């Protein structure tokens, strides 16, 4: 007859002689799993530390693409053209534009200020052949002399007084000579213009004030003496932008000539408009 090995009642263990099995510690399987997980974590940390301790060059060498030699890449790279010598180098010293004004205005239309035929002066407006001071006119082909008239003060012209340029009414012959300029190709940019006086000086801005000074041969002087004609909004008139301060333009203020910011929110816009007319001298 088989022995009944069913678990005896636990209500009175001291009476039937039953006791729990103490040969195996409780939770042994869970301890083994926890131990294995701890060992795996330690190994992963050691591996990560060892990889991080490798030199940067060794770590990046595997993912760095191979660089081809100059011989291997010859003819396969896109080359960029070298800037032309007529470009405008960055000015040095204290001159540097900080204005965030909109980009320079478009050039005047051909109908409003065409370049006179036979003249070497860009940006000079064409006009009737008959010359009268204060009226836009076209000088003979061999002449490139001009006077500069204010749009909102048509009886006043640029006038060299000492070393400064002012907006004055013409007086005697000497005054008229100082109000007449030879318009030449820009010293810094051939597509723009420069103004030369009868005594060999050039009009240039310095400390944002227009002056007549002798050319010292520097790149800064050439840029300061170069102005690019633009559309002013006034019939037959131009806006003269500085080549090294493209968001600045010449204007008259208190009958003196200077550079000021030019943009969509500029007030007194007529002060920035000038007409290049026949010579007064």
The helix (H) or strand (E) run that includes residue 30 is: helix 28-52
Beta bridge partners of 195: 183
Domain 145-277: state its class: mainly beta
173's tokens: 């012959």
- What beta strand segments (E) does the chain contain? 145-150, 157-161, 164-168, 181-185, 193-196, 202-206, 209-213, 227-231, 238-242, 248-253, 256-261, 273-277
Q: Are 219 and 89 in contact (CB under 8 A)?
A: yes
Q: Where are the domains of the chain?
A: 145-277
pLDDT values of the chain reduced to their tens digit, one per residue, 281 residues: 555 555 555 555 555 555 655 665 566 777 888 888 888 888 888 887 877 766 555 544 444 444 444 444 344 333 334 444 444 444 444 444 334 343 344 333 333 333 333 334 444 443 333 333 333 333 333 348 999 999 999 999 999 999 999 999 998 888 889 999 999 999 999 999 999 999 999 999 999 999 999 999 999 999 999 999 999 888 899 999 999 999 999 999 999 999 999 988 888 889 999 999 999 86
Q: How far apart are the first and last CA of the chain?
A: 147
CA distances from 260 to 56, 203, 244 (A): 53, 16, 13
Q: What is the pTM of this model?
A: 0.51
Q: Residue 53 and residue 49: Cα distance in Å, rounded?
A: 6
Q: Residue 267 and residue 182: Cα distance in Å, rounded?
A: 30
What phi and psi, each to the nearest 5 degrees, are found at residue 203?
-80, 125
């Amino acid at each position: 007859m088989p022995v009944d090995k069913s678990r005896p009642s636990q209500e009175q263990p001291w009476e039937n002689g039953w006791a729990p099995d103490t040969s195996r510690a409780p939770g042994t399987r869970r301890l083994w799993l926890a131990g294995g997980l701890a060992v795996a974590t330690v190994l992963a940390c050691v591996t990560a530390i060892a990889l991080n301790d490798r030199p940067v060059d060794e770590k990046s060498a595997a993912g760095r693409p191979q660089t081809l030699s100059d011989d291997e890449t010859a003819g396969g790279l896109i080359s960029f053209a070298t800037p032309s010598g007529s470009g405008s180098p960055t000015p040095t010293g204290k001159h540097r534009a900080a204005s965030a004004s909109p980009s320079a205005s478009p050039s005047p239309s051909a109908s409003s200020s065409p370049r006179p035929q036979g003249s070497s002066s860009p940006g000079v407006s064409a006009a009737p052949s008959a010359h009268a001071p204060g009226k836009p006119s076209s000088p003979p082909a061999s002449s490139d002399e001009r006077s500069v008239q204010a749009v909102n003060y048509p009886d006043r012209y640029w006038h060299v007084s000492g070393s400064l340029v002012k907006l004055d009414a013409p007086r005697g012959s000497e005054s008229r000579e100082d109000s007449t300029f030879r318009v030449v190709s820009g010293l810094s940019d051939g597509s723009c213009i420069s103004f030369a006086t009868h005594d060999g000086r050039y009009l240039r801005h310095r400390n944002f004030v227009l002056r007549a000074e002798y050319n010292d041969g520097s790149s800064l002087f050439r840029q300061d003496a170069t102005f690019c004609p633009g559309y002013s909004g006034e019939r037959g008139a131009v806006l003269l932008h500085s080549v090294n301060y493209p968001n600045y333009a010449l204007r008259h203020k208190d009958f003196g000539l200077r550079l000021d910011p030019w943009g969509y929110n500029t007030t007194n816009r007529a002060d920035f408009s000038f007409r290049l007319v026949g010579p007064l001298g």
